[in-house]
Amino acid sequence: MPTPSMEDYIEQIYLLIESKGYARVSDIAEALSVHPSSVTKMVQKLDKDDYLVYEKYRGLILTSKGKKIGKRLVDRHDLLEKFLQIIGVKVENIYQDVEGIEHHLSWNSIDRIGDLVQFFEEDPERVKALKILQEKNEEEM
């Protein structure tokens, strides 16, 4: 399994390739707010571990293993954002909160959160009931 840092890179590379058709070292560095030299080192490690194929000055492509993990990481991120929205977390906090928790939850926990999101999405009345409870609790504070 990739480390949390490796996950960040794989996720970002996956997103760049999905949106632009390619991912350059400079694009990855900008997206992750790191130095290009750091990206080069990580890309070489990801190449060694068969998550991508990297040729200096020619670019990189994700392997099937890298694509599979990249998609799963993006789906995890999206699921956690959706979950935090449903439970009423302030919009301005969601991205940072997801970044803070996504690497610290087991895949079993992610799957259970997915079940909970599905539970709420299947019946919008459940979301309304949660909002009413939250408003009640805020009034009592």
Which segments are annotated as binding site for Mn(2+)? Answer: 8, 11, 77, 99, 102-103
9 in Cβ contact with 43 (< 8 Å): yes
Instruction: Map tokens 């990297």 to a residue.
Output: 54
Q: How far is CA 128 from CA 57, 95, 121, in A?
A: 53, 23, 11
CA 60-66-72 angle, 5° bins? 135
* Tokens at 70, concatenated: 């990249």
- List residues forming the annotated binding site: 8, 11, 77, 99, 102-103
